[in-house]
């Protein structure tokens, strides 16, 4: 086998592996990730809300910077994996569960995901820029609290959505298990 063919095969295999971690296929994983982001967002709201006069203000700013860059990277990764995940819509059959036929994502929804990916990439770069400003001892705290409140709302919504997808998948597999047990009892 040629080197190009081997490289192509390993690239395809890597892409297939990444697809397994897409939000449509790994709903429980993304539920956990979104729930953790929600919890950290809420904790940082409390920490930052104590204001600049707090002794922990420097610590709060550092936590925020790490959080902001981290959640931006998570968002970018989630959208990229969604696009890579086979183009199924969230109402489709993510991991094969919740329906018999896969629904292709519409052209409009795919375009919206690409726009979201560009936005997520912008926020990764912006977060890195804010970290650089902090390293240069320049102000970066003008919108921390507002950003955190928005993040709490967004991650609350994302957590609910991914929980519903996870619940749908669990219900689907429970039905399959139930049908299999029923067939075993009846000997069919």
Digitized pLDDT (tens) for each residue of the chain, 188 residues in all: 555 555 556 666 877 787 788 887 888 888 899 899 899 988 888 887 776 665 667 777 788 888 888 888 988 888 888 888 755 444 444 444 444 334 456 777 788 888 888 888 888 888 888 788 777 776 655 567 777 888 888 888 888 888 888 888 888 777 787 777 777 877 76
Angle between helices 27-49 and 57-84 (to 10 degrees): 160
Map 47-90 to HEC letters: HHHCCCCCCCHHHHHHHHHHHHHHHHHHHHHHHHHHHHCCCECC
**151 Cβ partners below 8 Å, 6+ apart?**
37, 41, 71
> What's the rounded Cα separation, in Å, for the pair 129 and 69?
10
């Amino acid at each position: 086998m040629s080197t190009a063919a081997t490289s192509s095969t390993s690239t395809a295999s890597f892409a297939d592996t990444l697809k397994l971690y897409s939000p449509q296929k790994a709903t429980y994983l993304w539920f956990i990730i979104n729930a953790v982001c929600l919890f950290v967002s809420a904790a940082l709201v409390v920490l930052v809300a104590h204001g600049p006069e707090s002794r922990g203000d420097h610590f709060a700013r550092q936590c925020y910077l790490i959080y902001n860059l981290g959640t931006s990277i998570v968002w970018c990764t989630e959208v990229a994996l969604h696009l890579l995940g086979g183009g199924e819509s969230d109402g489709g059959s993510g991991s094969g569960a919740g329906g018999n036929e896969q629904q292709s994502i519409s052209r409009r929804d795919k375009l919206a995901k690409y726009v979201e990916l560009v936005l997520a990439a912008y926020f990764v770069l912006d977060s890195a820029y804010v970290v650089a400003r902090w390293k240069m001892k320049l102000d970066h705290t003008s919108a921390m609290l507002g950003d955190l409140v928005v993040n709490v709302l967004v991650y609350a919504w994302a957590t609910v959505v991914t929980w519903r997808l996870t619940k749908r998948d669990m219900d689907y597999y429970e039905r399959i298990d139930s049908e299999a047990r029923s067939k075993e009892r009846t000997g069919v």
